[in-house]
Amino acid sequence: MRIWVLRLGHRRVRDQRISSHCALVARTFGANGMTYSGDRDENLEKSIKKVVENWGGPFEINYEKNWKKVIKNWKGKIVHLTMYGLSIQDVMNEIKNSKKDLLVIIGSQHVPGEVYHLSDWNVAVSNQPHSEVAALAVFLDRFFDGKQLKKDFENKKIKITPQEHGKKTISL
């Protein structure tokens, strides 16, 4: 099963850090890749590709101007993370049991109403305002039952040696 993230409406000046955090969370928490729409941002792409090069993968990032094209071409189920959706506790088993590839949509600016209708599930980690980064992390953690946090990434050049105090990395 593949999980892919679609980040809607990236704004190069305003969203550089938050979009890169979305990609970092997607990678670390078990997604296979992320497509973003809005402004093309080659620095975002280079930054994430550098993380994958050093810390391992697989993980892909790419740009698609037309977000509708990504949704219409998706061959699986679609989850839209929104505070207006159904509670994650109420729908997660149904999502897991679908056993289909998942496209997980997260917004930045105003999400077009059409996204709510194109999605198989509109899912809320909370019905209160919150960050799309947090929503993505909670969703993926619940989906994988925390097992992804022990994932050993392939082709890494750097590895952390866990320490009670201090920082230690090993170059491979």
Chain-wide mean pLDDT for the chain? 95
- Please tell me which residue, 39 or 16, carries the higher pLDDT value: 39
pLDDT at 23: 98
Domain with 102, as residue range(s), is 3-171
- The arithmetic mean of pLDDT across residues 142-160, rounded, is 95
Stated pTM of the model: 0.95
User: What is the chain written as a DSSP string?
Assistant: --EEEEEEEE-HHHHHHHHHHHHHHHHHTT-SEEEEEES--HHHHHHHHHHHHHH-B--EEEE-S-HHHHHHH--SEEEEEEEEEEEHHHHHHHHHHH-S-EEEEE-SSPPPHHHHHH-SEEEES-SS---HHHHHHHHHHHHHTTGGGG---BT-SEEE---SSS--EEE-
Residue 109 in this model has a pLDDT that exceeds 80: no
Domain CATH number, residue 151: 3.40.1280.10
How many domains does the structure of the chain reveal? 1
pLDDT at 26: 98
